[in-house]
Amino acid sequence: MDKKIVFIMGAGHSGSTLLGLILGSHSRGFGLGEVVKLGKMLNKPAQTESQLCFVCQGKCEFWDERVNLDVLRRYFSRSRVTRYLAQRRRDLFDYFFDWTEADVLVDFSKQVGWIKPQMKQLQRVSHITPYVVYITRDGRAVTNSRLRKYPDSNMGREAIRWRKNVEQMNRFYRGLPAHQKLHVAYERLATQPGVVIQEVCEWLQIPYEPDMLNYWQHEHHLGPGNRGTASLIIRHQKMQTERDFEVDAPIANERHKGHYEKMGLAIKLDLRWQEELTEEQVQTFEKLAGETNRPFITNVTAETS
């Protein structure tokens, strides 16, 4: 199998971690998390190595044992020359293919500023093909999530921030060759995950594995990125361990099952913005980013599944 890298591009809070975890659950895939953030982690003086993995608590068999951190430090060195020389010698992702033994790597970095130079580098590497999957979501949902996370911000600022980010991604996406790009709407992924992931696998020319959708049951060693989703996986794995001691307690199992659903591990559509945004906020968004958001408006409801 040829080596493939999937760059997930999208605004934060658009489902990129969910998509990355699903793709990373393929038997030949590996989710790296947000590779762009490795530099910040590696250059922190007090950082212990095990903290590179957002899923493992304590020692990580991937980031601590398989990854060569000295190599990684050269790629994310503060010295431009060191970075340049490392990249000239061998592509960063070539190492990751060795370390993971996977055929499909998934980089959750999201930003054009990272993906663009990586794509350029990879033009020189004949045995690796880069792909960009652009995940989009209704901007009102995205800005609502941002406002929940940053209550001191305001809709005006968030709407402009979202619009500028999306316009930059649209421009980059338009310039990519057709076979190397795919658009995924979060709302469709969340309501028809099987259909969407099957399309993604076809595009990547890898066999579709229905079990990928149960992403929380697979092993992940995510580098830096979305702590929220990673902590859900940790909680699930902890509960799994507890559950292993309760084989004769079906009632307890049922209770846990309900809990998993509440934790939101199963893929489901999040439309909280419809209740949480005020009429005024919706109008502000419309005025500042409504035009850009037009293609991302879908008619899905939470009941569709």
Residue 221 CB, shortest distance to Zn ion, in Å, is 3
Q: Which stretch binds Zn ion (CB under 5 A): 124-132, 197-205, 217-225, 291-299?
A: 217-225
Strand partners, 181: 132
55 or 196: CB nearest Zn ion: 55
Show contacts with Zn ion in window 27-66 (CB under 5 A).
53, 55-56, 60
Neighbours of 108 (CB within 10 A): 29
The nearest distance, CB 59 to Zn ion, in angstroms, is: 8
Q: Is 82 exposed, middle or buried (0-12, 13-18, 19+ CB in 10 A)?
A: middle
230 part of the interface to Zn ion, by CB under 5 A: no
Residue 60 or 112 with smaller CB distance to Zn ion: 60
By beta-carbon proximity to Zn ion, the closer residue of 163 and 221 is 221
| Shortest CB 56 distance to Zn ion, Å | 3
Q: Least distance in Å: CB of 63 to Zn ion?
A: 6
Residues 282 and 279: their CA atoms lie apart, in Å, by 5
Q: Closer to Zn ion at the Cβ: 65 or 167?
A: 65
Residue count at the site for Zn ion (CB under 5 A)? Answer: 5
Distance CA 231, CA 264 (A): 12
Q: Is 105 in the site for Zn ion (CB under 5 A)?
A: no
Shortest Å distance, C-beta 8 to Zn ion: 19
Q: What's the Cα-to-Cα distance from 117 to each of 82, 111, 198, 232, rounded to whole Å?
A: 17, 11, 29, 32
Rounded CA gap, 273 and 143, in Å? 9
Report, in Å, the least distance between residue 299 CB and Zn ion: 40
Q: Least distance from C-beta 114 to Zn ion, angstroms?
A: 22
Per-residue binding letters, 109-128, with Zn ion (x by CB under 5 A) = --------------------
Only segment of 119-127, 161-169, 189-197, 213-221 that touches Zn ion (CB under 5 A): 213-221
Tokens of 258: 């309900």
Give every CB contact of residue 106 below 8 A, 6+ residues apart in sequence.
5, 6, 8, 20, 23, 24, 29, 30, 31, 32
Stretch that binds Zn ion, among 107-115, 196-204, 221-229, 232-240 (CB under 5 A): 221-229
d(CA 9, CA 114): 10
Question: What letters, b where the CB count within 10 A reaches 16 and e where it falls short, cover 248-265?
Answer: eeeeeeeebeeebeeeeb
Q: Of 124, 162, 135, which Cα lies nearest the Cα of 6?
A: 135
- Per CB under 5 A, the list member of 221, 226, 273, 289 interacting with Zn ion is 221
**Residue ranges binding Zn ion (CB under 5 A):** 53, 55-56, 60, 221
